[in-house]
Amino acid sequence: MGILSDAARAEIARRCAAFVRAPIAWTGEGEPRHAAVAIAITDAEDGSPAFVLTRRVSRLRAHAGQWALPGGRLDSGETAIDAVLRELEEEVGLARAASDVLAVLDDYPTRSGYLITPVVVWGGEAARLRPNPDEVASVHRIPLATIQASDAVDFTRIPESDRPVIRLRMGERFIHAPTAAVLYQFREVLAGRTTRVDGLEQPVFAWR
């Protein structure tokens, strides 16, 4: 989409505005725990649009060391947008306002009992990201072109489920669901397509 600019924001916002959220039914046991994650759009090293991706610290109790979008559980009384704006500032030092929110994508139900709401947020140019060492081992700006590449999306099968497992290729590594599912839907939004992802599976190591 070119160099990060007002035009880039307008184009991404236009694509996001065309997306219509679908109600996602919770089919897990008990009541889900609600969480939200940010697809924060900022600039890559070459100035092109990118999103913020973190590597979780290894000492966390849940999903330690995994790649993740900034986010977390909703506090009492919070909306998904409230939680995402709070977590962006707490995790990576990116202070944004509700006016910077471009879209709210479909909820994604996880095997570990969460219902995750993805929120697309405009992070702005040359954002100075400051990872919180208690939660974030490293923070990265991944060019949108990475997830838009023709070979970025990979589907595989596991014996434990009849649902396809989604993976996103990033260089020599794969990013798995739920992060991969959320980013895949965003990729589809940018391409002008509406693709539901709640039927996409996570790898077994992410079920806990």
pLDDT one-digit tens code per residue, 90-119: 999 999 999 999 999 999 999 999 999 999
Which residues, given as ranges, of the chain have pLDDT below 50?
Answer: 1-2
The residue type of 118 is: P
**Element (DSSP H or E) covering residue 183:** helix 179-190
In this prediction, residue 206 carries a pLDDT of 84
Rounded CA separation 73/37 (Å): 9
Q: d(Cα 91, Cα 140) in Å, to the nearest integer?
A: 12
Query: How high is the pLDDT of residue 4?
Result: 65
DSSP 175: E
Q: Under a CB-based contact definition with an 8 Å cutoff, are residues 83 and 36 in contact? A: yes
Cα dist from 63 to 38, 56, 66, 198, whole Å: 17, 8, 6, 20
| pLDDT at site 7 | 84
Task: Output the pLDDT for position 46.
Answer: 82
Q: Cα–Cα distance between 122 and 12 in angstroms, integer?
A: 9
CATH class of this structure's domain 6-146: alpha beta
pLDDT value at residue 65: 63
Local structure of residue 61 (DSSP, 8 states): S
8 A C-beta contact, residue 155 and residue 164: yes
Whether 138 and 131 have beta carbons less than 8 Å apart is answered as yes
Position 88 scores a pLDDT of 96
